[in-house]
């Protein structure tokens, strides 16, 4: 087979399922057959024309699959037929940025994010993986596609919000917005040992999931100013760490106001326009505060570590997968996800027939009524 | 009342319940009425003459109580009648060591450990607390004595093993020995986000508790060399972090052999004699390994943070309290604990009548048959 | 003697030399006789009414002096007649913030800064020092007042910019503005091992001093956009760390634009109004950047460490002291300093006759023509 | 030309200059023409049979040279004829260890050290460089071979002792042994901002160099127990950080005894036999001490950073190069270096004619009489 089916970005608001050439690996590269992938909020930004991507590119950056073909130099490390995932971010490990520890900025600003951004992505039957030695992560025996499909981006990103915030055991943490990334940030706060974990959103259904993911308190922004309530819950001081998981001026500013002197604002959101920090919230620059932004960490070791958390039953992300679709149904899947209909959190996309895992699934049918 | 009942160390193998003067606070000090305390492995070392303490001292370093009297300068911060705990370690916050971040070494080597070591301790009706502003930690509403009595030492120490090991989310961790401190180190590994958590001991009953405290795998040393099995579980590499929680050459050496190149050995044990590190286990000094020892962290903020973990139901330490005694029964309690009879993990000691919390309790009767 | 001379803040633009009661220490406090102090940029803000301080307060927060009287509990630690300095920030070491490592926020936002802000300051013959055990730092034998008078604020603050930026050996660093704090940040960059150190200012005389303090390159903002030149010097990437030492929107924004993806902006400036971060400079929140603000670190150990750097001839700050005045001449001194006339960097103020150190000095006469 | 001259290890105490095949690069590899290299203490261990290396291997791990040939995939990054250095450690950047931040343990224990250990080394006319993208570091314009030849190992290793010790500005530091690595550790202590820097050795000539490299105090072990003197210099407490740079039980034990409670022992030595830590020096395991071992950091970014320190005149290592030889004179060079004759610190080896840099040099003639 020389061609494959793929979802091609045709310009603002236009996706097309097309036949395109199947990729072949050069030295150090691999091709994997995609079995499951998903749609990310960033993909919505791209399709809506809010983040610039060149028309003609295959989108998608969350690949689960099977090794189809290996380029030179990889035979000792991997086997054709092995099940693997690959991070949304694929660092080379060898450039200025990678060797300085900024793997996600591989090769330059945001450069680690290649799939569906600067090279063809995972919404296809096959995917070419660059720097395969650094990026192919075998799936532990016994884990389903559905259990690991959120590792490449959502889990890695959400957790990194907690990590970059340097949450210490016993810290108080507020997470602003409880979409999939915010939920994984909430989960990350539990994994880093936070005590008081405050989940904030405007949708009560998401706050319900937040409590399952570890929030010890939830605040609905429709009920009033969350910052005032956070101050009340922390003897007037504010939290040790606030995580911003939406990408808006309002949540950024609230997160800044929510931290105590000496506290940290860990930002995961994608911003457009300028960000404004009132000097009072900054204590005029004298508050010993830290603001840190983080792009999703990738690379095979990050993926191995995240899957190890699932393998050893420390976390279970499957409640986040609420719907299944085939790749042909991308338009329906995208429509559902981008409009956040039907309680959707994340959808699983299958280039072939959807896998029958955990439960009988049907394309577009919600699989977990409780979530 | 000018006198009080206390357990006085009379020299090797001799404890005596005596009437002694009730303490009075000077400026910056406080006196608390003890409601619950416990016996620590260190107390066993002291009574057996293995750790030097001056005869005549009141032992015990794990106080739960009620503020009885406040010295000058504390009235704005605390109230008589407030329920508090105090850490086993009581740093001043103002000396060379404290201001350099080594609070447990307050004033000099091991100097933060004062109760039952260099000043009178908690096995008494009343306890004088030095540097009270830095050390009195109010108990959150709704928590029982039994729920918080392990914060002053065991929980703080065990957790510090995980903290000093700089466990990262997804790390593999092995904890050598699953006594109370080892169990809290295992719990600490979960709180820091470890994935594979290997609990090791020679008693199967303790390994059973280890699994409840978060061990994902347990190894009984009676079944063979744990290091070989640890290597097998980690693709031959060894764990990222090993925690030593016993204080013997054998466990130290095994923990060193168990870590991967680049790994960390976090040591909590109290050692006597010399420690030997075979150069092979050290990779001749070229393995990028770290060995770190930690004395229990104290101070009111440490205590507040640990109690916040309990308050927000992130941890439950009450399964570790297996027996209750009054202070008059110290000989029976000490005998039971020091010989590890009847499945004892930790005993609660009450200077007055034992508190009736969670379950009807009787002095010396095991309260949790399942643990 | 029951009264003393002091410089009292009388409201916007009004200072007055007055006779006021000499302070007496309570338990844990000390009184020192001031021999040398100085004027800080923050004092200028206060006098101009830009930072709110209650009229009637004695200003000044950079004390060098001799212990005059010790409150209870300090006799074992200090002696009357001992030469000491005290940090501008005087943490208690025992509160929520101090025990969480945020000593400069002691007791609440900015709370560590007490002298000349919330309690009487150092522009006086005598000064009451709170929490003296944590704050009195003996001056090493052989060091003059002039050599150590910048430790309490300027050196500590400037260095903290380099420390909070987590400069690593070999890092490239840009320091925006080369006033006294910026110069000490430049010096701090050398002490942390930076390689390329870019000093930026609009005054060529300050850039000359910057080169003496370790800048390997200097940029005059009158010559064009410093960010473009910084990018050119760093292969288009930007510096690893930028330090902001002025407190203006323009320098903040330039510092943000100057750092590479994965870089850190360490901010020392005092801001008024809002701060704006263009999303491009933030890489839309995806650049793995850190922004950190720092208030001057204090406490006796900080002071001891800074003086040790001077004692061991690792640094020499005396070139920054360009003029000497008596306290009676505060108006002239303030006028000179606040208008940055006559090449002034820092002035030394002496409540008594000016000390004759290193060179014959005269009030108001510039002492180091080369600097 | 298909063959080249090289120094081949023929077994214990036997080196031979031979004609061997010139290497050719595969994809991702490069071949460089060596212009300068040197002899390391590790090479002495190898030749003496104390460290196992397979006979037939070309030794040497400190290459300075010119790119001769590039394998596939490197043309966009490098040019034939470019001057480069390569670290003694050549990490791949893509394996388990590299992606977990343990680059020196690339592929397994000590695995980053390949040259002259597991693959052919730099004592040859040409050298094959693996993972060239991660390892070729261009030499900044204007720097001589002699100025950068110590970056691949000695400077990187010595500095890492200071880095792994987490020296903070103002720390007191003791460096045990002042051979080339110890001297670079002393230099590293200055680059990390230490105040009191104590250099220790038994040779007064080395202590003299130590003072030039930043030691503020030197102790000759012939004059008595250095630990007692270190305690005296630090008010009885011990230093914050001790660096071991020899690899013997005695220096290890002294370094451990020299650190204060809460201090760090950073070990660079290569040990044989077992290491013993007396429990008193360990404060029975309760002293909050850290012991850390470090293998030389490598990779092109490490090399770039070290060369940047030289380029910007922050350090000058050329005093360490005391003698020059051609490769043909390896026996004389090895004899001089291994017996530490004629005040030798490091020798420069040139496969071709010795470069005429800085001074007229002659093989075997000491070039810097002052050092």
pLDDT for A295-344, tens place per residue? Answer: 999 999 999 999 999 999 999 998 899 999 999 999 999 999 999 999 99
Residues of D in contact with A94 (CB under 8 A): 92-94, 131, 133-134
Tens-place pLDDT, residues B196-242: 999 999 999 999 999 999 999 999 999 999 999 999 999 999 999 99
- For residue D366, what pLDDT is reported? 39
Is residue A367 scored above 60 in pLDDT? no
From the CA of C72, how many Å to the nearest CA of chain B?
9
Q: Do A96 and D302 touch (CB under 8 A)?
A: no
Q: Do A287 and C109 touch (CB under 8 A)?
A: yes
Is residue C327 scored above 70 in pLDDT? yes
pLDDT band per the 50, 70, 90 thresholds, residue A1? low
- Give the residue-averaged pLDDT of D75-97: 98
* For C170, nearest residue in chain D (alpha carbons): D305
Residues of A in contact with D298 (CB under 8 A): none
Tens-place pLDDT, residues D220-254: 999 999 999 999 999 999 999 999 999 999 999 99
Separation between Cα atoms, residue C343 and residue C340, nearest integer Å: 7
Tens-place pLDDT, residues B96-136: 999 999 999 999 999 999 999 999 999 999 999 999 999 99
Chain-centroid distance, C-alpha B97: 21
* Percentage of the residues of chain A whose pLDDT score is greater than 70: 95
Q: Do A278 and C282 touch (CB under 8 A)?
A: no
Is residue D362 scored above 70 in pLDDT? no
Q: Do B299 and C96 touch (CB under 8 A)?
A: no
Of B170, B216, B309, the CB nearest to A170: B309
pLDDT band per the 50, 70, 90 thresholds, residue B266? very high
* Percentage of the residues of chain A whose pLDDT score is greater than 90: 92
- Give the residue-averaged pLDDT of C326-332: 96
* Percentage of the residues of chain D whose pLDDT score is greater than 90: 92
Tens-place pLDDT, residues A41-86: 999 999 999 889 999 999 999 999 999 999 999 999 999 999 999 9
User: Which ranges of chain D does DSSP label H, i.e. alpha helix?
Assistant: 41-47, 96-99, 132-135, 145-148, 156-164, 180-191, 204-212, 226-233, 249-258, 300-311, 330-338
Tens-place pLDDT, residues C257-298: 999 999 999 999 999 888 999 889 999 999 999 999 999 999
* For B133, nearest residue in chain C (alpha carbons): C94
Q: Do A93 and D101 touch (CB under 8 A)?
A: no
Is residue D367 scored above 50 in pLDDT? no
Beta carbons within 8 Å of B350's beta carbon, 6+ residues apart: B35, B36, B37, B324, B325, B326, B327
What b-and-e string marks burial along D344-355, b requiring 16 or more CB atoms within 10 Å of the CB?
Answer: bbbbbbbbeebb
Q: Do A309 and B190 touch (CB under 8 A)?
A: no
- For residue D273, what pLDDT is reported? 84
As given in the structure block, the two tokens for residue A277 are 């920090």
- For residue A370, what pLDDT is reported? 33
Is residue B357 scored above 50 in pLDDT? no
Residues D35, D97 contacting (CB under 8 angstroms): no
Separation between Cα atoms, residue B240 and residue A370, nearest integer Å: 38
- Give the residue-averaged pLDDT of A168-183: 98
Centre a 10 Å sphere on the Cβ of residue C339 and count the other Cβ atoms it contains.
10
pLDDT band per the 50, 70, 90 thresholds, residue C57? very high
Instruction: Tell me the pTM.
Output: 0.95
Cβ-Cβ contacts under 8 Å between A and B: the total is: 68
Separation between Cα atoms, residue C264 and residue C260, nearest integer Å: 8
From the CA of C295, how many Å to the nearest CA of chain B?
17
Residues of C in contact with B99 (CB under 8 A): 93, 134, 299-302
Largest CA distance in chain C: 65
What are the phi and psi torsion angles at D136 (to 5°)? Answer: -85, 120
* Percentage of the residues of chain C whose pLDDT score is greater than 90: 92
Is residue B359 scored above 60 in pLDDT? no
pLDDT band per the 50, 70, 90 thresholds, residue C353? low
- For residue B279, what pLDDT is reported? 86
**Averaged confidence pLDDT in chain B:** 94
- For residue B354, what pLDDT is reported? 52
Is residue C1 scored above 90 in pLDDT? no
- The strand ranges marked E within chain A are 3-11, 14-21, 30-38, 64-70, 83-85, 126-129, 137-138, 173-176, 197-201, 217-220, 239-244, 259-267, 275-277, 290-293, 321-326, 346-350
- For residue C368, what pLDDT is reported? 39
- For residue C354, what pLDDT is reported? 52
Tens-place pLDDT, residues A112-135: 999 999 999 999 999 999 999 999
**Averaged confidence pLDDT in chain C:** 94
| 3-class SS letters over B106-137 | CCCCCCCECECCCECCCCECEEEECCHHHHCE
Neighbours of chain C (3+ CB pairs under 8 A): A, B, D
- For residue B256, what pLDDT is reported? 98
- For residue B365, what pLDDT is reported? 38
Is residue B356 scored above 80 in pLDDT? no
The contact set of A with B (CB < 8 A) is 159, 163, 168-172, 188, 190-197, 216, 304-306, 308-309, 311-314
Tens-place pLDDT, residues C254-265: 999 999 999 999
Residues A318, A213 contacting (CB under 8 angstroms): no
- For residue A352, what pLDDT is reported? 79
- For residue C38, what pLDDT is reported? 98
- For residue A369, what pLDDT is reported? 32
* Percentage of the residues of chain B whose pLDDT score is greater than 90: 92
Give chain C's domains with CATH numbers. 3-150+317-350 (3.90.180.10), 158-293 (3.40.50.720)
Tens-place pLDDT, residues B123-134: 999 999 999 999
Tens-place pLDDT, residues D300-357: 999 999 999 999 999 999 889 999 999 999 999 999 999 999 999 999 999 976 554 4
Residues of A in contact with D92 (CB under 8 A): 93-94, 133
Of D100, D271, D282, the CB nearest to B271: D282
What are the phi and psi torsion angles at A242 (to 5°)? Answer: -115, 140
From the CA of D356, how many Å to the nearest CA of chain B?
36
As given in the structure block, the two tokens for residue D135 are 């390892």
Phi/psi-derived region of residue D269, left when phi > 0, alpha when psi is between -120 and 50, beta in every other case: beta
Q: Do C72 and B99 touch (CB under 8 A)?
A: no
Of C96, C271, C285, the CB nearest to A271: C285
Tens-place pLDDT, residues D14-58: 999 999 999 999 999 999 999 999 999 999 999 999 889 999 999
Pick from C233, C299, C241: which is nearest to C84 by CA? C299
- For residue D353, what pLDDT is reported? 61
The contact set of B with D (CB < 8 A) is 96-97, 100-102, 104-105, 108-110, 113, 237, 240, 247, 260-262, 267-279, 282-295
DSSP 3-state assignment of A146?
helix
Location of structure tokens 């288009």 = C236
DSSP 3-state assignment of B143?
coil
* For A302, nearest residue in chain B (alpha carbons): B170
As given in the structure block, the two tokens for residue B36 are 């619950």
Q: Do A272 and C291 touch (CB under 8 A)?
A: no
As given in the structure block, the two tokens for residue C186 are 């430049």
Is residue A198 scored above 80 in pLDDT? yes
């Amino acid at each position: 087979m020389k061609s494959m089916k793929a979802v091609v970005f045709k310009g603002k608001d236009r996706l097309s399922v097309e036949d395109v050439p199947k990729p072949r690996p050069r030295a150090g590269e691999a091709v994997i057959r995609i079995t499951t992938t998903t749609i990310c909020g960033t993909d919505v930004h791209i399709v809506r024309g809010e983040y610039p991507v060149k028309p003609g590119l295959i989108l998608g950056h969350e690949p689960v699959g099977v090794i189809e073909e290996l380029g030179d130099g990889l035979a000792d490390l991997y086997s054709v037929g092995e099940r693997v995932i690959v991070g949304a971010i694929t660092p080379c490990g060898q450039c200025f940025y990678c060797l300085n520890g900024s793997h996600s900025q591989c090769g330059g600003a945001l450069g680690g994010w290649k799939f569906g951004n600067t090279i063809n992505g995972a919404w296809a039957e096959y995917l070419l993986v660059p720097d395969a030695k650094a990026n192919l992560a075998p799936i532990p025996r016994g884990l389903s596609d559905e259990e690991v499909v959120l590792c490449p981006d959502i889990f890695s990103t959400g957790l990194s919000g907690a990590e970059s915030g340097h949450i210490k055991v016993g810290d108080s943490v507020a997470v602003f917005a409880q979409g999939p990334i915010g939920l994984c940030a909430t989960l990350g706060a539990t994994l880093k040992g936070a005590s008081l974990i405050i989940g904030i959103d405007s949708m009560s259904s998401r706050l319900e999931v937040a409590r399952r993911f570890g929030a010890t308190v939830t605040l609905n922004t429709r009920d009033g100013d969350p910052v005032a309530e956070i101050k009340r819950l922390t003897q007037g001081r504010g939290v040790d760490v606030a995580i911003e998981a939406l990408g808006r001026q309002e949540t950024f500013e609230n997160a800044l106001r929510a931290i105590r002197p000496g506290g940290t604002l860990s930002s995961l959101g994608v911003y457009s326009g300028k960000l404004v920090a009132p000097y009072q919230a900054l204590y005029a620059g004298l508050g010993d505060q830290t603001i840190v932004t983080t792009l999703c960490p990738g690379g095979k070791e990050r993926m191995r570590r995240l899957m190890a958390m699932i393998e050893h039953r420390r976390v279970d992300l499957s409640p986040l997968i609420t719907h299944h679709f085939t790749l042909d149904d991308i338009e329906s899947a995208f429509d559902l996800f981008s409009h956040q209909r039907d309680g959707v959190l994340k959808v699983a996309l299958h280039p072939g027939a959807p896998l029958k895992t955990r439960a009988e699934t049907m394309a577009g049918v919600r699989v977990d009524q409780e979530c």
